[in-house]
Chains A and B, each alone.
Chain A
């Protein structure tokens, strides 16, 4: 065995490889810079433990939805139904608990499992339509989001399930704390760890990356696209529903509309920022987490500084574009 390196097109030349460095670490550096700027700007408000938990709490629902989206993006499939699925999770969890009329952890856990299961089934229907019939994932999930939205409006008659009809055991999920850490943050952390292990340390995850990277080569390696499209879309839908459930618990209401839509586009922003972090061009859990934090820090920091809301959108959009450019520069150099 020889260890002579092959001539490599991306071999760093003399001097430091700035482009490569920025395309990997640019988003994390911007995150750090923003934290420093906001801390210097309002040290007494921004850089407090309380505000840090506040930021994490604010982004936890977005985080759950974005992490689920990361899984189906790994297989190479877009999911535009995650907004509707979040509304689905929040509304039906509250509605079932109201209908059941029971309090207690047992009933709440059962209902949550049931709702996640239903969401996963809808995700599998997405996966099946996309992979067996070869329909475009974007269009199919857009259509599914209409169906799900219609379903929720039909079942609810447009009426919100109010706090008085929701057991306290459910509200704790969104409002309680354990050891000073808000429950949504704990749920998000748990989900992130599970999905990290799933995507990077199991054969299932590896096969999903293979399909997303080169579907034909994966097929010729014996990996079934149909099977992993089903798994990926089911996870995306279930994670979105989980985000919706936590949002509902936090609000102490089951709203039939206006819950998930706000998260849909931000989830995509977070996932794409993630795909330009550390491993350019790859969707991964750690990257998505950075993307979610970046969005949270921008929104929280700018409002703490008293900057008008419109700046949040402009800064967020600019950072996404910069992230995409840096990831692309690296991809072009590789080609």
Chain B
């Protein structure tokens, strides 16, 4: 009876005092204000969603709460008490636990060892007492109701089991609030269901979650409340009863889109450059479309939806398991990127620094690499004609408006935007007619962005066909003539003209209907 009373009491105060309360959070980076007076509160036993586009400030907010960043201003309260968070250790002390997208587990260690990570293992006679290690690990898993052997190595587990082990770790540290940063990215639908069942049960026991996700459908399935951020500011808080898809999407994308800049005139001509039929791979299924000369097609979707994968399949970067690709009426057999390049396809990958730039090499070497065959003295020894190579590098960089001291400057010394122009320019002299561009404006400043949009438009004007993908949905209406929206590996809709809006893309991508 006293127990029940205490619990009732706790529930009442819990309702009044939020477990996590963030007030007036500001975070300034040189040149930008990433967070501007952001507030957020999570109640006890609640699953609270944090929503927003890329760059809206979600990750910055999480990083400020868990101590990875020092906030410029703002307060954090745990159970009504102000806590000072200067580094990750402070956050852990205060009862804040974060389960990252890339789970912070060590794959080659056992489940038990991972659950003990960061603590010294119990010893007996100077040796590790494995009996106690496993006994406590079993207790921890039992508390969250997970049935996994503590002796299995973590790399043998399913993604949803990994997420649960991270959650178990957080629960065992008596965390007041567990922050889940995109935990479902690597999960299959039935694994997501299993994870959600366990989260609901833990929430019912009084554990509180802050859940960061792109996937609206999941948010509607699990969240009790949702906070939306846009451009570093609060853009609305929704209770479960008022959480309606159209209103949430509107809050996420905002009304004031870049409508003035949206693409109006298409350069599309009649000639078909590429025909894709039933293209299927690991994460894409039955993709069909036709690309005309001068046309800019967008492929959009959430991470893992198949949009990125379609570009990889078209370039022979990922192996296709079925379907056909025909360029200028000739069917392609792609064994790798070299075959795609031979067929006149160019590719700009998503991660410029890891996948596109040759570090410590000159701009010249970076820009001429795929077209060197055209700049040789003779075809046997393949001696490079240096004068022609320099001329080609100068011509391309001029056409791409690369701002640089000279073509012999190391590419690392250029700004992100100028590096990207070099990467894009690489393909101008290979004779490519089809350009696959994945997030060509990622990590590029605003001025360079519009220059790159202009360069893409120039390519289309000169008759090239372009397939474009971006992590920022607002770019699609600006860049593309029409957009295919992907969800779970397949095209779920095609948008063009007035219907091509950020909100419509978001709705379709999240599995909704227009």
Chain B positions within 8 Å of A218 at CB level: 358, 369
Q: Return chain A residues, CB-CB under 8 Å to B397.
A: 1
A27-35, A42-50, A199-207, A314-322 - interface stretch: A199-207
Q: Do the beta carbons of A221 and B370 come within 8 Å of each other?
A: yes
B504 at the interface (CB under 8 A from A): no
User: Which one, A6, A210, A216, contacts B354 given CB within 8 A?
Assistant: A216
Q: With the chains together, A218 CA to B372 CA distance in Å?
A: 13
Contact B413 A206 (CB under 8 A): no
For A3, give its contact among B354, B360, B405 (CB under 8 Å).
B405
> Is the C-beta of B347 less than 8 angstroms from some C-beta in chain A?
yes
- 7 closest residue pairs by CB, A with B: A222-B341, A222-B338, A8-B413, A203-B382, A5-B405, A1-B398, A221-B370
Is B384 in the interface zone, CB < 8 Å from A?
yes
- Report the separation of the CA atoms of residues A222 and B381 in the bound assembly, to the nearest whole angstrom: 19
If the complex has contacts A9-B413, A202-B382, A213-B360, are A219 and B337 also in contact, measured as CB distance less than 8 A? yes
Is B415 in contact with chain A by the CB < 8 A criterion?
Answer: yes
Q: Which residues of A contact B370 (CB under 8 A)?
A: 221-222
Interfacial chain A residues near B341, Cβ < 8 Å = 221-222
A133 at the interface (CB under 8 A from B): no
Q: A197 to B386: give the CA distance in the assembly, Å.
A: 12
Greatest chain A CB density within 10 A among B337, B397, B398, B418 is at B337
Which residues from A are CB-within-8-Å of B414?
Answer: 6
Residue interface bits A176-211, CB-to-B below 8 A is 1, else 0: 000000000000000000000100011110110110
Contact code string A218-239 (vs B, CB < 8 Å = 1, else 0): 1111111000000000000000
The smallest C-beta distance from B423 to any residue of chain A, in angstroms, reads 9
Asked if A203 and B372 make an inter-chain contact with CB atoms under 8 angstroms apart, the answer reads yes
Residue A2 at the B interface, CB < 8 A? yes
Set of chain B residues within 8 Å of A6, measured between Cβ atoms = 403-405, 413-415, 418
B360, B398, B401: the one within 8 Å of A281 (CB): B360
Q: Does A284 reach chain B (CB closer than 8 Å)?
A: no
* B426 at interface, CB cutoff 8 A: yes
Q: Are A334 and B398 CB-contacts (below 8 A) given A214-B357, A220-B356, A222-B370? A: no
Least CB distance from B111 to A in Å reads: 28
Question: Judging by beta carbons under 8 Å apart, are B372 and A206 in contact?
Answer: yes
Q: B336 interface residue, CB < 8 Å from A? A: yes
**Cross-interface CB contact of A209 among B361, B401, B409, cutoff 8 Å:** B361
> Which of B342, B355, B381, B401 has a CB less than 8 Å from the CB of A216?
B355
The reply on A24 being an interface residue by CB < 8 A is no
Residue of chain A at shortest CB distance from B361: A213
- A36 within 8 A of partner (CB): no
B211 within 8 A of A: no
Q: How far is the CB of A195 from chain B (nearest CB, A)?
A: 13
Interface pairs (29), CB distance under 8 Å = A5-B405, A6-B413, A6-B418, A7-B415, A8-B409, A8-B413, A201-B384, A202-B384, A206-B372, A206-B384, A209-B358, A209-B361, A210-B358, A213-B359, A213-B360, A214-B355, A214-B357, A216-B355, A217-B356, A217-B357, A219-B337, A220-B315, A220-B337, A220-B355, A221-B369, A222-B341, A222-B342, A224-B336, A224-B338
